[in-house]
Structure 1
């Protein structure tokens, strides 16, 4: 099992390599070590590793972007993500995009790395052990070796001809998401037999099923695919997608990858038949407007009424229907990020909150919409939604203007209340004085910047509303229990923990 290690910190790279080598498993080979995402991508293309252990936050190409690019060209690669406490959101996103596991750097032990690698190795061996010649034990055609022989024309010709490919005919690659693999194959085999369609497969790759149709003309191919899709719809096999028609063995692997990308539409649709030609005719989404509305929803939670937020969520998710081929992956990422951001708001306001999404969740637009609406409902429940409109408006004003020299008088004027009234109301509902809440919010923002940015300390002081860096440092030290320079030094050791702000 070939392993690629990626981290921009030399001690981390060397320690992971040492831990693997000390483990003594003769099946684990460190194929390469890289210090950046760009370098790692080149090495992945060269060495075709089975496992990539990568830091999630690196200069240039980060771990998530590296994972996406590698999986496009080498879909069987397994990823293990290394993360700090401050990067939990990114780590959770990485798992939704296909990472096997994420490990915390601050708690990482050699045996954790080895046990993770042994688990992945066991999965690989199980798949290999259950195979017959070119087929899995469940009867699906296995195209694994085709990806490791993309430059071997002789191998590919022999493989596809052995399974009935007719070089002189047109072909169309169709794809399905695997749900109930045994039943899906039984239905596909039966439909192909009923119509006597010339088909290759079905083939299985990860969670994708491919069936390749062939015919002498484009009309015959189109008619066969549409007839087959209608049968699949009746049998509830899920969404069927297809790429462009092709001809000749040289383009078959590219056609399979094209159909694989079309399966991204299972995020939006759960049934029917979608051709790439139809998807490419859809108009591009207004990404800027969608992002703006997403931020508006997040900023409004706790400060707008629940009905307003719920209606905004419904409209936002509706705006994502009909996404063109070029936007579909971006849509999925936006939806997942929205779920995670709302979960973070829940975690800050709901005692003992636990995430509603999990690693094996089947992410779809419908699922994301339901999660978001349920999370918002929990936030606005009687136990958690405890602030009056005036206090919510005041808190929102602080969050939007903390980087300026704002005062109680200014905020009171903004919400059309007297300073005395706002002061009493704010303290009675939040349990904090207005000035204490403002200071706490500013200093926690400063801590995030110290951990996650390269800004100088005096720049951070100005960015969170302090006009005197020395006064900022004093306030930070009194509030956090450590100086800002100490927090900055902790950015590479798991983030600042155990401060007063954390309780």
Structure 2
């Protein structure tokens, strides 16, 4: 459920937005309304909303300033900006500062607003799911075999050997059959055993181990992305970039820019 704050100095607009969203109370909750930018800031800090729908021009604190101040405290909060034609340049500025969408007040439609909010919710769920998967797979890739403790020490021994082989040869064109051969097991049996002991499919484990190594290279070296792709076992840099985006949520280029920004 999205928690929403509405901020607009015009009472009819606030009431209309409330009316538009009232039938969506099973998936949306309006946690408060504000009539000026300072009130919007205080309300957001108190209620920690997922989304703020905010007029770009308000007394006491304009919408862009309020958004920037809220972002400092609540970086995950999304913003939908309301604007007039005369303020279109401000709307573009709001987008550059992190607003998700802007809507011209003269064209404000409940269906458009609800679509925007649904899109935001879908994006937040996708980001949350990616983060959970990423965290889980990073933990798995960093585990040592004793941490895969189970009821079958003999099986753990085979998987330990398999993991050691993966970690030493991840930059090569290795396959399930190759690794299964290293532990003298059939590919079918090894596949089941690997999933049973590690909790991950072999292919997913290998992809994520490679991508974790790639992430380290992106952050800690100046190697070109093409070279990094080769170093972690991918001969097709475009395919590597697509995998990186799919599993980690951002492109390699975005990862490098993000780390460079943090380092400043």
Q: TM-score by structure 2 length? A: 0.55
Q: Trace 1:96-107 onto structure 2 (pairs within 5 A).
A: 96-107=96-107
Q: 2: CA distance between counterparts of 1:46 and 1:272?
A: 31
* Structure-2 residue corresponding to 1:233: 222
Q: Is the 8 A contact 1:6 1:13 kept in 2?
A: yes
* Structure-2 residue corresponding to 1:88: 88
- Tell me the secondary structure at the aligned position of residue 32 of structure 2: strand
Q: 2: CA distance between counterparts of 1:99 and 1:6?
A: 14
* Structure-2 residue corresponding to 1:187: 214
Q: Is the 8 A contact 1:5 1:13 kept in 2?
A: yes
- Tell me the secondary structure at the aligned position of residue 82 of structure 1: strand
* Structure-2 residue corresponding to 1:167: none
**Cα pair distance change 1:15/1:137, threshold 3 Å:** farther
- Tell me the secondary structure at the aligned position of residue 54 of structure 2: strand
- Tell me the secondary structure at the aligned position of residue 30 of structure 2: strand
* Structure-2 residue corresponding to 1:3: 4
Q: Trace 1:418-497 onto structure 2 (pairs within 5 A).
A: none
* Structure-2 residue corresponding to 1:392: none
**Cα pair distance change 1:89/1:29, threshold 3 Å:** same
Q: Trace 1:263-302 onto structure 2 (pairs within 5 A).
A: none
**Cα pair distance change 1:130/1:106, threshold 3 Å:** same
Q: 2: CA distance between counterparts of 1:52 and 1:113?
A: 12
**Cα pair distance change 1:109/1:183, threshold 3 Å:** farther
* Structure-2 residue corresponding to 1:56: 56
* Structure-2 residue corresponding to 1:342: none
- Tell me the secondary structure at the aligned position of residue 81 of structure 1: strand
* Structure-1 residue corresponding to 2:32: 32
* Structure-1 residue corresponding to 2:178: none
**Cα pair distance change 1:183/1:50, threshold 3 Å:** farther
Q: Quote the RMSD (CA, aligned, Å).
A: 3.5
Deviation at residue 187 of structure 1 after TM alignment: 2.7
**Cα pair distance change 1:100/1:270, threshold 3 Å:** closer
Q: Is the 8 A contact 1:49 1:77 kept in 2?
A: yes
**Cα pair distance change 1:48/1:188, threshold 3 Å:** same
Q: 1: CA distance between counterparts of 2:4 and 2:53?
A: 7
Q: Which runs of 5+ in 2 are unaligned?
A: 140-207, 227-252
**Cα pair distance change 1:15/1:132, threshold 3 Å:** same
Deviation at residue 55 of structure 1 after TM alignment: 0.2
**Cα pair distance change 1:234/1:79, threshold 3 Å:** same
* Structure-1 residue corresponding to 2:72: 72
Deviation at residue 72 of structure 1 after TM alignment: 1.1
* Structure-1 residue corresponding to 2:119: 119
Q: 1: CA distance between counterparts of 2:98 and 2:82?
A: 14
What's the CA shift string for 1:202-244, capped at 9, x where partnerless? xxxxxxx9xxxxxxxxxxxxxxxxxx84xx113459xxxxxxx
Q: TM-score by structure 1 length? A: 0.30
**Cα pair distance change 1:236/1:37, threshold 3 Å:** same
**Cα pair distance change 1:41/1:126, threshold 3 Å:** same
Deviation at residue 118 of structure 1 after TM alignment: 1.0
Q: 2: CA distance between counterparts of 1:104 and 1:9?
A: 15
Q: Trace 1:181-260 onto structure 2 (pairs within 5 A).
A: 185-189=212-216, 229=220, 232-235=221-224
What is the aligned residue count? 168
Deviation at residue 17 of structure 1 after TM alignment: 0.9
Q: 2: CA distance between counterparts of 1:274 and 1:118?
A: 30
Q: 1: CA distance between counterparts of 2:41 and 2:98?
A: 17
Deviation at residue 270 of structure 1 after TM alignment: 6.6
* Structure-2 residue corresponding to 1:16: 17
- Tell me the secondary structure at the aligned position of residue 26 of structure 1: coil
Q: Is the 8 A contact 1:130 1:137 kept in 2?
A: no
Q: 1: CA distance between counterparts of 2:56 and 2:84?
A: 9
Deviation at residue 186 of structure 1 after TM alignment: 2.4
**Cα pair distance change 1:271/1:47, threshold 3 Å:** closer
Deviation at residue 129 of structure 1 after TM alignment: 3.7
Q: 2: CA distance between counterparts of 1:272 and 1:126?
A: 22
**Which structure has the greater CA radius of gyration?**
1
Q: 2: CA distance between counterparts of 1:271 and 1:26?
A: 36
Higher helix share: 2
* Structure-2 residue corresponding to 1:481: none
Q: 2: CA distance between counterparts of 1:52 and 1:271?
A: 25
**Cα pair distance change 1:97/1:131, threshold 3 Å:** closer
